């Protein structure tokens, strides 16, 4: 049974939610952001803060039925809101403390080949196609500044890459984060 057609469990006040609603924390359908509601936001925050927590403990802390939590998780995964539950790994702790961003200009029609080439470089952590100066932006890591040269040589050592420009990250005062955006989306 899908989350939209499954019977709803009683809310904290003991009343069952009407079919097609998400309970007392729900937002009316058709609003600006139907991706998540307040309960989804609380569930995502709880999982982000305690990634090893189980569904039963989530339901206890959020004061909703276990089936509600499971249905929400299934729906959030199906919609791509939650992409995984893997561990956060710090490249510096693995011996790659240098982070850099390279902007790449590529030859026309070489996008697929360049993507395949960059996917084969372990030090390439992310690849984005971009507008502006350049065609692609890659986040790369290296063991040292000297090792960064080796990584850059490997990245640009492909006929489809015409030009590159690299900037070394000095510090990361706002590391990748998603919870402020989750909080905002849950209240819109």
pLDDT tens-place string over residues 115-168: 999 999 999 999 999 999 999 999 999 999 999 999 999 999 999 999 999 999
- Kindly state the helix (H) or strand (E) to which residue 148 belongs, with its residue range: helix 145-156
How many helices (H) and strands (E) are present in the chain, helices listed first? 6, 4
Task: Name the pTM for this structure.
Answer: 0.74
User: What distance in Å separates the CA atoms of residue 188 and residue 176, rounded to the nearest whole number?
Assistant: 22
| The Cα angle at residue 115 between residues 151 and 150, in degrees rounded to 5 | 5
């Amino acid at each position: 049974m899908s989350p939209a057609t499954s019977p709803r469990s009683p809310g904290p006040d003991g009343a069952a939610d009407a079919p097609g609603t998400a309970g007392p924390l729900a937002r009316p359908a058709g609003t600006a952001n139907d991706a998540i509601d307040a309960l989804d936001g609380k569930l995502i925050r709880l999982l982000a803060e305690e990634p090893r927590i189980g569904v039963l403990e989530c339901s206890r802390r959020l004061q909703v039925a276990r089936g509600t939590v499971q249905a929400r998780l299934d729906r959030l995964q199906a919609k791509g809101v939650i992409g995984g539950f893997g561990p956060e790994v710090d490249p510096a702790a693995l011996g790659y403390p240098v982070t850099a961003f390279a902007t790449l200009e590529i030859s026309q029609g070489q996008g697929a080949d360049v993507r395949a080439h960059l996917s084969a470089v372990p030090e390439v952590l992310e690849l984005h196609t971009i507008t502006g100066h350049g065609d692609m932006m890659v986040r790369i890591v290296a063991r040292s500044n000297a090792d960064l040269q080796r990584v850059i040589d490997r990245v640009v050592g492909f006929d489809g890459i015409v030009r590159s420009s690299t900037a070394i990250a000095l510090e990361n005062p706002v590391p990748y984060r998603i919870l402020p955006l989750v909080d905002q989306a849950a209240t819109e």
